[in-house]
């Protein structure tokens, strides 16, 4: 692509999810396929208790000057960004505040706080004094990040359902390509709330037990909450975002194209953008929600492109489906898989399911416990994120001396 920078590096990575807060906590649980950290909660969906992946960590108290944005979602964002505050400050000093952009994704924003405010009004007749409408605006997350960091470059929010976090990374690369910014803080966050829990429950898409992706016994999603953010720069080395594939099939408001045409287009687009062939991919993090329709279309699309020649897994049985944060979270997982490569071997997160394959679906090569992928000096991994309305995004990440230089 004409004008693309020589490199698009994930220069700093931060995250929090059901597996822990920070890479040191998350990596061993990710590599080990830890599903032990889910909890059951009432009050999120009508007349039922559901299994959810919650973040077990304290979030910082925001300064009173941030009161307009003070919601649980943004406090989570602040907690995660604190993990990489130092390299962000270095970038600000190097490039100037006006050359640092912000792209953030979400699908819930501060809706959970709005729900509590409404309950407070029902009890007392008035909204809480701390409640502000901006706390639940989708655009508020990017405005908050820019204000909290003190950056003055472009700042905007994306909300394309479950592909929001992946598209935030794609947009960050575009801002570097267009020389609109020299560095981009990008990522996504979503926290558990009643609106999405009740919505998925009413659609019959929440599983009573842990999500069981691609099994004949799959029955729906397990919800989770998460945030993952990156500092993306033009530096060489490290993990590079080398391929982006996006499609908008608009097949249905909430159901994917059953043939997987949109998913296939996104994967093919990402490979073409990276200049790679299917055989170059060493691992595929599938969207893998555990719903009948999503898993069926995704397995068909993957088989069309790869057959069973790429090891794959869904990490949603480890984190829950984190909605708008899923694409960013799974991108961070892919980056860490590359960064933890040793002796040209990748440690692959296991695909947690009951092992009972659906005979109606192509049988993919699902990674089991202790699975390793042997790579060349340069290796490439792929991540799928497919959202409501056919908002699809596939990313390819690469690591090695032949990329980003």
d(CA 74, CA 145): 8
If one counts every other C-beta atom within 10 angstroms of the C-beta of residue 253, the result is 8
Catalytic site includes residue 8: no
Q: What is the Rg, in whole angstroms, of the alpha carbon atoms belonging to the chain?
A: 20
130: helix, strand or coil: coil
Catalytic site includes residue 321: yes
| Helix and strand element counts for the chain (H, E) | 11, 17
Residue 253's DSSP bridge partners are none
CB-count burial class (<10 Å; 0-12, 13-18, 19+) for 267? buried
d(CA 306, CA 22): 33
Of these residues, 71, 321, 334, 380, which one is catalytic?
321
Q: Are 224 and 197 in contact (CB under 8 A)?
A: no
Q: How many residues are listed for the chain in this entry?
A: 405
Closest C-alpha to 250, from 144, 387, 85: 387
The contacts of residue 190 (CB under 8 Å, 6+ apart) are 73, 106, 107, 108, 225, 226, 227, 322, 323, 324, 325
Of these residues, 71, 162, 186, 214, which one is catalytic?
162
d(CA 299, CA 305): 10
Of these residues, 287, 351, 380, 399, which one is catalytic?
287
The contacts of residue 226 (CB under 8 Å, 6+ apart) are 15, 16, 17, 18, 53, 55, 189, 190, 319, 322, 325, 326, 328, 329
Extract the tokens encoding 129. Answer: 């004094």
Give the torsion through C-alpha atoms of 256, 34, 323, 371, to 10 deg. Answer: -50
d(CA 345, CA 386): 28
Q: What is the DSSP letter of 60?
A: P
Residue 102's DSSP bridge partners are 155, 185
Catalytic site includes residue 340: no
Extract the tokens encoding 136. Answer: 């639940």
Question: Which residues belong to the active site?
Answer: 162, 287, 321
């Amino acid at each position: 692509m004409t004008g693309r920078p020589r490199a698009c590096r994930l220069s700093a990575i931060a995250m929090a999810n059901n597996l822990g807060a920070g890479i040191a906590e998350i990596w061993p649980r990710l590599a080990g396929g830890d599903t032990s950290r889910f909890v059951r909660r009432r009050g999120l969906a009508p007349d039922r208790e559901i299994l959810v992946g919650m973040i077990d960590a304290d979030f910082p108290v925001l300064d009173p000057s941030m009161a307009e944005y003070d919601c649980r979602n943004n406090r989570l964002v602040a907690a995660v960004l604190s993990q990489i505050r130092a390299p962000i400050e270095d970038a600000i000093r190097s490039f100037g505040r006006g050359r640092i952009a912000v792209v953030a994704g979400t699908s819930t924003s501060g809706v959970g706080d709005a729900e509590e405010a409404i309950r407070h009004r029902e009890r007392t007749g008035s909204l809480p004094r701390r409640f502000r409408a901006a706390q639940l605006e989708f655009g508020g997350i990017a405005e908050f990040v820019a204000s909290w960091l003190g950056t003055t470059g472009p700042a905007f929010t994306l909300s394309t359902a479950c592909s929001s976090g992946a598209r935030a990374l794609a947009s960050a690369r575009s801002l570097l390509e267009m020389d609109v910014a020299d560095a981009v803080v990008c990522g996504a966050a979503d926290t558990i709330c009643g609106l999405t829990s009740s919505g998925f429950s009413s659609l019959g898409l929440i599983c009573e037990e842990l999500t069981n992706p691609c099994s004949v016994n799959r029955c729906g999603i397990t919800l989770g909450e998460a945030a993952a953010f990156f500092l993306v720069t033009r530096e060489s080395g490290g993990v590079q975002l080398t391929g982006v594939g996006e499609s908008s099939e608009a097949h249905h408001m909430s159901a994917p194209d059953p043939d997987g045409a949109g998913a296939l287009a996104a994967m093919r687009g990402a490979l073409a953008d990276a200049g790679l062939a299917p055989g170059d991919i060493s691992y595929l993090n599938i969207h893998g929600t555990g719903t009948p329709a999503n898993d069926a279309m995704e397995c068909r699309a993957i088989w069309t492109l790869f057959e069973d020649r790429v090891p794959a897994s869904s990490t949603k049985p480890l984190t829950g489906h984190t909605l708008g944060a899923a694409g960013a979270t799974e991108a961070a997982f892919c980056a860490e898989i590359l960064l933890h490569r040793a002796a040209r071997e990748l440690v692959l997160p296991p695909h947690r399911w009951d092992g009972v394959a659906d005979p109606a679906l192509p049988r993919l090569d699902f990674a089991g416990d202790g699975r390793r992928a042997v790579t060349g000096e340069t290796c490439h991994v792929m991540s799928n994120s497919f959202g409501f309305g056919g908002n699809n995004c596939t990313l390819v990440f690469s690591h090695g001396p032949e990329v980003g230089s």
